[in-house]
Amino acid sequence: MSYPTRVKLVDVGPRDGLQNEKQPVPAAVKIELVHRLQAAGLKEIEVTSFVSPKWVPQMGDNAEVMAGIERRADVRYSVLTPNMKGFEAAVLSRPDEIVVFGAASEAFSQKNINCSIAESIERFAPVVAAARAAGIHVRGAMSCTVGCPYEGEIAPERVAYLAGLMKGIGVQHIGVADTIGVGTPIKVRKAIEATLQHFDLNDVSGHFHDTYGQALSNTLAALAMGVWQFDTSVAGLGGCPYAKGATGNVATEDVVYMLHGMGIDTGIDLDQLIDAGQFISDHLGRPTQSRVAKAILAKRASSAACEAV
């Protein structure tokens, strides 16, 4: 078995991580978080979404956040655009990439985006076409590819079906998400195999939640297949409000620690990343969800205590 020598991580913290926060997070804090993530070496950041502020009030400052970022040429800034209205607003902010998201589970599609899978694809088609025409990269995200809170286990055929629909409308890159974190290595491998019926290995990424602590072993299983792109969230910010017990995205820090320990290059400075996680955790008034950050912060505190003696 040979693992990739280099991995690209997409930090989804500013968008997926913060979207469900009840207290408004100021645009300036979001911008600072993006700046800290890019300073730590992230090359792609999911910044915000262009959805109705009625549905996701936390992302109502999308244009302000996008305008406030000091962009780097080597970083890709992506935004979610569920429909044409969102895309038309998003394009004014010059994103490098837009993301459309569908579910492999029919029930989840209905509950999450209020339409069937087929209807969601119809809705995305003009968005994807417009983005491609404007030279904007298009990523698709498939939720519930191993399990659904309403339907239970999801068959790989359902994943292949959705991946095929996404490919059909011109989506260039596809994310395989375990939205509720119930996946284990063999199930995740099957979901990825199903996706590979329609997408090239270089156009597939993994997005694993750590609700049941399985995200790193699922990442390892994907790495063993050659997958080299993953979504992660600094400090483990976020989760899915529609999924019972879905307490969080896998922490970027935890994935980076594993990859570096395996000799896999990410271009990320773990210490700076931990500082970025600490910055947003302090703002939210919550401890980080990253085990690596907790362990390293405890070590730093004990070293500081020793030096103080």
Please identify which of the residues 144, 148, 240, 306 carries the catalytic annotation: 240
For residue 247 the two structure tokens come to 């307490």
Angle, helices 252-261/291-308, rounded to nearest 10 degrees: 80
Return the SS3 of 81. Answer: coil
Q: Which is nearer to a copy of itself, 256 or 280 (CB)?
A: 256
Rounded alpha-carbon distances, angstroms, from residue 226 to 156, 182, 268 = 19, 22, 20
Q: Which is nearer to a copy of itself, 149 or 175 (CB)?
A: 149
Least distance CB 16 / a copy of itself (angstroms) = 19
Q: Which is nearer to a copy of itself, 13 or 181 (CB)?
A: 181
| 144 has catalytic annotation | no
Q: Which is nearer to a copy of itself, 90 or 180 (CB)?
A: 180
Least distance CB 271 / a copy of itself (angstroms) = 14
- Give the whole-angstrom CA distance, residue 64 versus residue 45: 16
Binding site for a copy of itself (CB under 8 A): 1, 3, 181-187, 210-214, 216-217, 219-221, 224, 244-245, 247, 251, 254, 257-258, 260-263, 290-292, 294-296, 298-299, 302
179-215 in b/e form (b: 16+ CB < 10 A) is bbbbbeeebbbbbbebbbebbeeebbbbbbbbbbebb
Least distance CB 254 / a copy of itself (angstroms) = 5
Rounded alpha-carbon distances, angstroms, from residue 185 to 4, 196, 218, 269, 299 = 17, 16, 5, 28, 31
Least distance CB 309 / a copy of itself (angstroms) = 15
The residues that are catalytic are: 240
